[in-house]
Structures are given as C-alpha cells and as structure tokens.
Amino acid sequence: MNVNADNCLNHEDELQALREALQVRLDELLPAGQQQDLVYTAMREGTLVAGKRVRPLLLVLAARDLGCHADQPGLLDLACAVEMVHAASLMLDDIPCMDNALLRRGRPTIHRQYGENVAILAAVALLSRAFGVVAEAQSLSPACKTLAVAELSTAVGLQGLVQGQYLDLHEGAGARSAESILLANELKTSRLFDATLQMAAIVADAPPQARQRLRCFAQDLGQAFQLLDDLADGLNGTGKDRNKDHGKSTLVAMLGAEAVHQRLRDHLRSADDHLASACQRGVATRRFMHAWFDKQMAQFG
C-alpha cells in the first residue's frame, strides 16, 4: 500500500487527536475526586496511565473505514469500554498468583503499588464499569448495545480471556504442541480484538461479509501480537519485565526466533488481506496497523 508523506503526516495528527480524545473521555468516565479509596485510585491508575491504546484506536478507525461518521455519538464510549476491559485483564495477569509481574507500561504493577487484594477488586470494578459504559452509550440503539455487550462478554469469559489465561498458567510450563500454544494465544489475544472490531462493525451496520472478514483479521492480528510479544520478551525498553517467558513453552522456544519472525510476517500479510476486503471505504485502519508493526519490529534490527 503506497501512502505519500503528506497522508502519513495527516494520519499521525489524526491518531494523536484520537489518543487525546480517548484520554479525556476515560478521565470523564472515571472522574478524579469521585471516590478517595484505593480501589478507585487503582482503577484510574491502571486505565489512565499512558498506553498504546491499540484496541480503542482500532475500534474507532475501523468504524470510520466501514462508513461510520467520525463524530458518531457513542463510538468513543465503546472504545473506552474496550480499553477498560484490557486494563482490567492486565491487572489480573500481573498479580502474583498469575504472572507475578513487577512492571507494566514502565511503572510498578498495580498490585505492587496498592496490594494484590486491591488490584483484584479494581479489575473486577473496571470490568463492571466497562459494561455500564456500553449500556449507557449515547445515541446507540438498544439492539446495538445488546450486540456490543454480547461480543464483549464473550471475549472476557470462558470463551476468551479467562480460558486463555487458564491454559497459559496450567499448560505453559510443560511441553505443548504448536496447536495448543496457538489456541491459548487466540483466546488470550485474538478474542478481544475480535470483540473490538465487531463492535465497530455493529455501530457502522456493516454487512455479514465484512464482519466475517473482520473476524479473520482479528484472529491473525491476535496471533501476530502474541508472537511479537514473545519475540520481545528478552529486550530492554518494553516497559515490562524481561525474560518472563523463561522456562515456558512458547513458539519461540519451540521453533526459534527466525521461524517465528516468518510466522509473524505471514500473519501480518493475511491480516492485511482480510482488513482490505472488509474495509473498502477507507484505509486508516490499515495505515495504523502497518505503521504500528513497522515500529515494533524495528526493535529487532
């Protein structure tokens, strides 16, 4: 895909404006001073600290590429709800009985700052708040909200994040087949991407063919994200603990970095094909994903 320099500059300006709008809206949905207890403080800390915001950006950009108006009421709230779910999942992933992480986004993890019990309660409260945000989203029809809640709840539960984390915890330390690793990756990562993109399609009233293509895109995208994360495990400057995968059964440990790099590139090509087929009215989502992965993969030299 050829994009000239002016378009790239305009795209970066748009992304920065979107990030700022998301930050403002997240702060409004979790307002400072509303409560003073540690659980609420931890909710704000885990959500408002600077992050990549990949999922909410994808939701807004994909909805626009599917024909949704840029100022569609409720769209930003759905994106914020997805970010709250993601933030909650990170809090739970990091606690001592899960991954026992010390760093997240370059800062001490929530359980290190506020205690494990507070981190768990803050994560549960964030999940609850996320579904409330969807239910209260302005100018979206009841049917639209119902479909959005269904997609998000599937991504979080036993068909998504919960089951993926369970498989990773209980099988990750032993020998696993490549298929088992891919399944865990799909549940942990692809399913939330799928819900994110389906929510965009719901708001845009996209046809079934486009929604199916977005599901295929999400599956490839999630695998690519997880492979990128595995490859970056030993690197400095990621904002997370180094070598957390040491001793775990990952595709990098099984196949080697070079083979995983090739798999990553294959997933990205497939993801781009699916996205191009689904979003034929715009290319903002494709530009975003190309630029994001180019930047992340540059760290490998």
- DSSP class of residue 212 equals H
pLDDT digits 0-9 by tens, 120-156: 999 999 999 999 999 999 889 999 999 999 999 999 9
Cα distance between residue 27 and residue 42, in whole Å: 13
103 pairs with which residues across the strands? 108
How does pLDDT run across 80-136, given as a tens digit for each residue?
A: 999 999 999 999 999 999 989 999 888 999 999 999 999 999 999 999 999 999 999
Helix pair 161-171, 191-204: axis angle to 10 deg: 170
Angle at alpha carbon of residue 58, lines to 195 and 138, rounded to 5°: 70
For the cut 50, the answer to whether the pLDDT of residue 3 exceeds it is: no
Contact between residue 283 and residue 1 where contact means Cβ atoms under 8 Å apart: yes
- pLDDT tens digits along 153-201: 999 999 999 999 999 888 866 678 889 999 999 999 999 999 999 999 9
pLDDT of residue 33: 78
Summarize the confidence of residues 29-54 as an average pLDDT.
90
How many C-beta atoms lie closer than 10 Å to residue 234's C-beta?
14
CA 41, 233, 268, 212 torsion-angle sign: negative
* Average pLDDT score over residue span 212-236: 90
Which pTM does this prediction carry?
0.92
Query: For position 6, what pLDDT does the model report?
Result: 47
**How much is the pLDDT for 275?**
97
Predicted local distance difference test score (pLDDT) of residue 57: 97
